[in-house]
Structure 1
Amino acid sequence: MSQAKKVAIIGSGNLGQALAYRLVSSGYQVTIGSRNPQRQNFTTTLDDSIMKEVHVGTVKNCFLIPDISVVFLAIHHRNAADLLSPIRTLLSGKILVDASNRTEPCQTGSNAEELASHFPEARIVKGFNTLSANALQSDIAVEDVHRVHLAADDVAARETVACIVKDIGFCPVYVGDLQAARRIEAYPLQVLPGWGGPTVISCAIFFVWLGIMVIKYSVKYAKSKESFPWERIPLTLLNLLVCLTAITLLAITYLPGCLAAFAQLYNGTKYKLFPSWLDFWLRCRKMLGLFALLFSVWHAIMSIAFLSPGSMRWWYEPITDWKANSTNAVHRYRLNATGESALTLGILSLLLLILTGLSSLPSLSAVFNWGEWRLIQSHVGYTALFLAVVHVFAMSSRGWLMHSTSFFYWNSFLCCVLPCLVLAMKLFLMLPCVSHLLSRIRDGKDRRPFLRGRGERKCVDIQLLENDTV
């Protein structure tokens, strides 16, 4: 084997064995260093024919093999110094890839930096700590979304490790010098990063609608002699609450995009930063959309559970069948035009929303080009919002017509106000004159119609020039 095809791994745990499996499968000759090589036995479910090609020796032997320049440290960080200190003289010029993780985040240092301070004669590279053993040993074709973050002060050492990363089917990502290892080691400690704000927003919308329903039902039944139907809370009323939350979440998923477009039209340029609240809102759109999908599926499942003439009588019409040679009539029900329309629109909206949600998965979004991804995320998403609004209209229009003086207090009407506003804004932005102007601004053509200074607004340019430069 050539020098570039020989590597060593210190550590024979799950990560070390999975890494060895991946390297051998990619044509590398691997030596695993163990403190007890005589008792070493691979007990994983990996392919035995591949693992038999892995050589097992002592830790010292891994550094004595002259053709091995890259050594992966697949051991706990607290054991690294004790394990490598007796062979310090053998570390000179060796590339040590630190794959260890921390149990809690630290802003003042990283495992890799500590290792570099203990062994300055070695060339330390941080990497492979963000990958699981399952990802390494998987035989499924790996897309670019399986990234290996690398950090090192030695650029040549980092490039050597990056070549190995590419050889085994992964994508190297250069994060920076060794100090950037603090961020790399913090990645596995993060639980659903970026989901905190969207979760709070989604819960807030849920409880706002809950408060509105509690107030309205309290007022309604306080004036009525009827008692509140407590037995309908677990399904019927909860389904209504989930429906209101779902359509509101879907609306606020697309509202910040419209606001950003109006801000660019007002500023006349795409190079002015958005306000911090709008920037945060824009970054939350993916998570808010997935929450909208979650509530929509929840609503659909509960609706199917109690879809019957007794619960949704305004969706059904009775039909009577007479048995032959009998005077007994058989009463049955079938969906009327309102019920069929509402169900069809709701199903179509949910299917489009599921398609939009699936396209946001990294494994699928990596397959789409920018135009395809934008078509699904924007146009298909807005179509889903439109169908959801029409679904509510089909459900409630009959009741609105029967109560023409009070329907605007109904929850079904209130939940459509914001989605209709978003759709109206989108239609305005799709007007040819507005769309053309917005496209030119996003292409880098600065209009800059207004400058604000000392409370005055001064017009400095109202024309778009073909030869504008950035």
Structure 2
Amino acid sequence: MTTPYSRRAQSARVCRSLRWLSMLLLGVVLVSTAVQAAPAAEKAPISSTIAVIGAGDMGQALGNLWAAAGYRVIFATRHPDTLGDVVERAGHGARAATVADAIEQAGIIVLAVPYAAEPAIARAHAVAMKNKVLVDVDNAFEHRDGKIATKAEAVGEAIYSARLFEGTRFIRAFNLNSAHSFPTPAMVESADFEVPYTVNDDSVRPMAEALIHDTGGTPVYEGGLENAREY
């Protein structure tokens, strides 16, 4: 014969079992959801990924600031395995890759190389860069870059480079700033300097101004690339 007490005890055991089962099922669902979501969380949007081609002083100065501002920064050279110190200094998830791999993963490409290197980069990668944002910070110097500097200066460096990388959303900016003039990430909020820029497509202006703001600079729009003749 089952007493009221035993019935209540049995009912309590059933309730505890049901609660335990519910918690177990909830845990399985949460773990499953986390596992499924993990790859998506690790993969940053291509539109916020910046491939900095060149890891010299200028490339590092800009890349470090953008990494601290929340962009996913990839430093790209022919020998990415030598960039351990560069990546470590940038922090914030920055990494190194070959030029081809970095371009494939990024929506924003930054050229921070000697000007004479641009034609070779264009021959190898211009097709992969089409429709992407290309920020050119390079300056041409005849004593360093040779005849290409003379050719570029004849039509304007921005126009010459944009022709090399036809089909890109081209921004000419930062080339009036020395690498050592940029603030540290900790000093961005108090920085006070202007960055003139020109574009070949007005739709890219918001991106240009965001990139400039995130280095601590104040954007100064100068119009189309033909207006970059002096810089």
Letter in 1 for 2:133: I
1:38-437 matches, cutoff 5 A = 38-42=81-85, 48=88, 50-51=90-91, 53-65=93-105, 68-103=106-141, 108-138=154-184, 139-141=186-188, 145-183=192-230, 185=231
Q: Contact conserved, 1:151 with 1:181, CA < 8 A, in 2?
A: yes
Q: Letter of the aligned partner of 2:99 in structure 1?
A: V
Q: What is the TM-score normalised by the length of structure 1?
A: 0.35
User: In 2, Cα distance between the equivalents of 1:49 and 1:76?
Assistant: 22
Asked if residue 20 in structure 1 is aligned to residue 66 in structure 2, the reply is: no
1:109 offset after TM fit, Å? 2.1
Measure the CA separation in 1 of the matches of 2:163 and 2:90: 37
Aligned equivalents of 1:174, 1:148: Cα separation in 2: 8
Amino acid at match of 1:55: R
Cα distance, 1:171 vs structure 2: 1.0
Q: Note the C-alpha offset of 1:141.
A: 4.3
The CA deviation at 1:143 is 5.1
Q: Which runs of 5+ in 2 are unaligned?
A: 1-43, 143-148
Q: SS at the partner of 1:71?
A: strand
> What is the Cα-based RMSD across aligned positions, in Å?
2.4
- The one-letter amino acid of 1:133's match is A
Read off the aligned partner of 1:74 and give its amino acid letter. A
Distance (whole Å) between structure 2 residues aligned to residue 159 and residue 34 of structure 1 = 28
Structure 1 position 108, deviation (Å): 3.4
Q: Distance in 2 between matches of 1:120 and 1:141?
A: 33
Counterparts of 2:66 and 2:132 in 1: how far apart (Å)?
Answer: 18
- The structure carrying a bigger strand percent of its residues is 2
Alpha-carbon shift at residue 103 of structure 1 (Å) = 2.7
Separation in structure 2 between the aligned mates of residue 144 and residue 15 of structure 1, nearest angstrom: 17
- Relative distance call for 1:50 and 1:22 in structure 2 (3 A) is same
Q: Tell me the secondary structure at the aligned position of residue 108 of structure 1.
A: helix
- Greater relative contact order (CA < 8 Å, ≥ 6 in sequence): 2
Question: CA separation of 1:3/1:168 partners in 2, compared to 1, >3 Å: closer, same or farther?
Answer: farther
Please tell me whether the aligned partners of residues 19 and 137 of structure 1 are also in contact (alpha carbons under 8 angstroms). no
- Residue 41 of structure 1, CA deviation: 4.0
Q: Comparing 137-146 with 13-22, which one deviates more in the overlay?
A: 137-146
**Cα distance, 1:49 vs structure 2:** 5.8
CA distance in 2, matches of 1:98, 1:122: 11
Judged with a 3 Å threshold, the aligned counterparts in structure 2 of structure 1 residues 57 and 137 are, in CA distance, closer, same or farther, namely farther
**Corresponding residue for 1:32?**
75
How far is the alpha carbon of 1:75 from its aligned partner? Answer: 0.6
Query: Which string of whole-angstrom CA distances, capped at 9 and with x for unpartnered residues, describes residues 326-348 of structure 1?
Result: xxxxxxxxxxxxxxxxxxxxxxx
| Separation in structure 2 between the aligned mates of residue 141 and residue 87 of structure 1, nearest angstrom | 33
Residues 2 and 88 (structure 1), Cα distance of their counterparts in 2 relative to 1, 3 Å cut:
closer
Q: What is the TM-score when the length of structure 2 is the normalising length?
A: 0.69
- The Cα offsets for residues 426-450 of structure 1, whole Å up to 9 and x where unpaired, read as xxxxxxxxxxxxxxxxxxxxxxxxx
For 1:168 and 1:144, locate their aligned partners in 2 and report how far apart those are by CA, in whole Å. Answer: 9
